[in-house]
Amino acid sequence: MIEQNGGELALGGIAVSESDARLVYAAWQCDPHPFRDLPPDREIERIQRSITIRQMLEQASRGEPA
């Protein structure tokens, strides 16, 4: 899951933005198949996929190619 170390957020030791952390939290709360039921490596894979989708949506909203 997302860890907080002081004022920085990280996923598996890789820095993530606050918006990524909020996205992961919202997805975790709303998912009908809770992340906590997944093995840790699958949980991280799902979180990374969610972050990638958010980044692609942001790029599309700015008119940038994905």
Which is nearest to 9 in space by CA: 21, 24, 23? 21
Output the 3-class SS for the chain: CEEEECCEEEECCEEECHHHHHHHHHHHHHCCCCHHHCCHHHHHHHHHHHHHHHHHHHHHHCCCCC
pLDDT given for residue 31 in this prediction: 65
pLDDT tens-digit readout, 2-15: 788 888 888 777 78
pLDDT given for residue 9 in this prediction: 83
Range of the domain at 58: 18-66
Q: Is residue 65 part of a domain?
A: yes
- What is the tally of structural domains in the chain? 1
Distances in whole angstroms, Cα of residue 39 to Cα of each of 36, 44, 45? 8, 9, 10
Q: Is residue 8 part of a domain?
A: no
Q: Is residue 55 part of a domain?
A: yes
Q: Is residue 1 part of a domain?
A: no
Mean of pLDDT values over 17-21:
80
pLDDT tens-digit readout, 30-64: 766 655 666 777 777 777 887 887 788 778 778 87
Q: Is residue 43 part of a domain?
A: yes
pLDDT given for residue 5 in this prediction: 80
